[in-house]
Amino acid sequence: MIIGPKYKIARRLGVPVFEKTQTQKYAIRQGQRAERGAGKGRPKAKSDYGLGMLEKQKARYSYGITAKQFANYVKKATEKKGSSAEILVCLLESRLDNVALRSGFAPTRQAARQMTSHGHLTVNGTIVTIPSYQVKVGDVIGIRAGSKGKPLFASLDEKLKTVKVPSWLKLDYDKKEVTVQGLPQAPQSELLFNVGAVLEFFSR
């Protein structure tokens, strides 16, 4: 997925949707821009459509997926019984590349996607090369035996000591495996977008 100028996109969206915009350095730069009055002026009032589009963009950039992929997730979420908002978040969090990121195997979402597509990860012992692969409760995600000695995982031990794994994942530090022990979820407070606004946008 070609993204473009990440700093510019993050400023336009108003949230740090990329890893490189989630640093203290970026936050300081944004504060300095605000003090200088960069972009100061009367902001144009956005229509309901514009606000919905903004939330949609925040969501898909947060997970690094295309507009078409995201629309498909929304369609699946609204077709299933239950809370569409919870189902949508569950579908997004269930992506294999997202699990690689949440578990601490990969430092960034882009790295997680490459790690998956290059065949470094396994699901229940089988190599899976599809970043969008949907994990299920009970699945065990690990690192391919032949990949553990690669430079990509050289500092993994140290990284895993500091990673904060979500409650729906259980990390086995010694085996370098993570088990999906519950339905993937993420509280609204941890998301960079409004799930309700996104669903409303697609219901037009």
For every one of its 204 residues, what pLDDT tens digit does the chain have, with 9 covering 90 and above? Answer: 544 566 565 565 565 655 555 555 545 555 555 555 555 555 566 788 888 999 999 999 889 999 999 999 999 999 999 999 999 999 999 999 999 999 999 999 999 999 999 999 999 999 999 999 999 999 999 999 999 999 999 999 999 988 999 999 999 999 999 999 999 988 888 888 999 999 999 998
Superfamily (CATH H level) for 6-36+45-91+191-202? Ribosomal protein S4/S9, N-terminal domain (1.10.1050.10)
How far the first Cα of the chain sits from its last, in Å, is 26
For the chain, the domains span 6-36+45-91+191-202, 95-180
Quick count: other Cβ atoms within 10 Å of Cβ 123? 19
**Helix boundaries (H) for 37-155:** 48-63, 67-79, 84-93, 96-102, 109-117
Give the distance from CA 142 to its chain's centroid: 19
**Domain spanning 95-180: CATH 3.40.50.150:** no
Report pTM.
0.80
